[in-house]
Amino acid sequence: MAELTYREAVARGIAQEMERDNDVVFLGEDVAAAGGVFKATEGLIDKFGPLRVRDTPISEQAILGAAMGAAMTGLKPIAEIMFSDFIAVCFDYIANEFPKSRYMTNGQVKCPLVVRTGNGGGSRFGAQHSQSVENWAMMIPGLKVVAPSSPSDVVGLLAASVRDPDPVIFFEHKSLYATKGEVPDGEIVDQLGTAKIVRQGKDATILALALMVPRALEAAEKLSNEAGIDCEVIDVRSLVPLDMQTILTSVAKTGRLYTVEENPRLCGWGAEITSIIADEAFYDLDGPLIRITTPHIPLPAADNLEDLALPSVDRIFAKIQTTMN
C-alpha cells in the first residue's frame, strides 16, 4: 500500500495500462517532455518513449482526430484535453464521431479510447478554465462518463476506462491533484457504472461527485456531531453508466436525498437523478428532493466569489440542517 497524490495516481494508472498492453498509446499537449501542465504525467515519456507518449500541436481537434483514427485502426489511445472547457473546441468528435461510430457501421468500427481532461473549479483559473462540464458529456448517447474523487479510484477507474470497448470521457478534478490517499500495490482494475458508499448513515442520503465528495463527507461529520443528523454519503463516480441501484437502495433506507453538484444548476447531473428518484422511489421519500449546486453563472475568478459560488461544507451543512428540521 502506497500513499499517492491524485496526480501521481494518474501517471500510475496510465503506466499500468501501457505496461499491460502495447496497443495503449498516450497523446496530448505538453504531456511528454513537460509531464503535463498539471504534472500528472511525469515520467511516462522516459518509461515508454516518444512513439507511445506523444506531444501534439495546440489543437484539440487534431488531438481527438488522431485519437479516433488510432482507435479505429486497432490502438487504444488515451488523449488529454488540458482543460475540460476546451472540449467545446472539439465537441464534434465527442458528440458526433466517437459515440456514433459503432452504431453507424453496424459494429464494424469500434472506438475504444479515453479522453482525460482537467475539470472543475476552486483553482482560480476563471470562467473559461474552471467549468465543471460533466453534464455536457453525460447527455450524449454512446459515451461513458467517469469522475473519480480519490487516488485509488483514479487508478482503478482509468484502467476500466482503457479496457472498455466504448469511448470514455474521464474527468479529473484539478483541485484534487494535490490531495493524497492510499493506493493498493499491484494491478488495480475497478468497474464502470458503480457508485461507492463512502459513509454509512440512516437519516439522509447525500450524492456527490469528484471535489464535492470530500466536502460532503466533511459536512456529514459536522451534521452528525453538531446536529445529530446521520447522513449516508455516496460517491457517484460514474455518470454513464449510472448506478441507480445503489442510490435507490440508500434512498429507500433514509427517505431523504440531497445532491451536491459543482456544475451549474440548470440541467446538472443531479436533475437527472432526482427525476429518476421521483419516478421510481417517490413513496420512499419523507421530504423533498434537494439539489445543492453552483448558481447558473460563469464561475468568477475572484477568490471570495469563486468560493461563494461553489458548494461549500458550510452551505451543505446549513441546507441539510435547515431542511431536515
CATH number of 2-183: 3.40.50.970
Tens of pLDDT, residues 36-90? 999 999 999 999 999 999 999 999 999 999 999 999 999 999 999 999 999 999 9
Confidence at residue 225, expressed as pLDDT on a 0 to 100 scale? 98
Tens of pLDDT, residues 118-150? 999 999 999 999 999 999 999 999 999 999 999
- 196-324 shares the fold of 2-183: yes
Nearest to 40 by CA among 210, 211, 172: 172
Confidence at residue 325, expressed as pLDDT on a 0 to 100 scale? 84
- What residues does each domain of the chain span? 2-183, 196-324
Confidence at residue 128, expressed as pLDDT on a 0 to 100 scale? 96
Whether the pTM exceeds 0.75: the reply is yes
Confidence at residue 1, expressed as pLDDT on a 0 to 100 scale? 86
Query: Could you give the residue numbers annotated as active site?
Result: 129
Domain 196-324 fold is: Rossmann fold (3.40.50)
Residue ranges of the chain with per-residue pLDDT less than 50: none
Confidence at residue 89, expressed as pLDDT on a 0 to 100 scale? 97
Confidence at residue 38, expressed as pLDDT on a 0 to 100 scale? 96
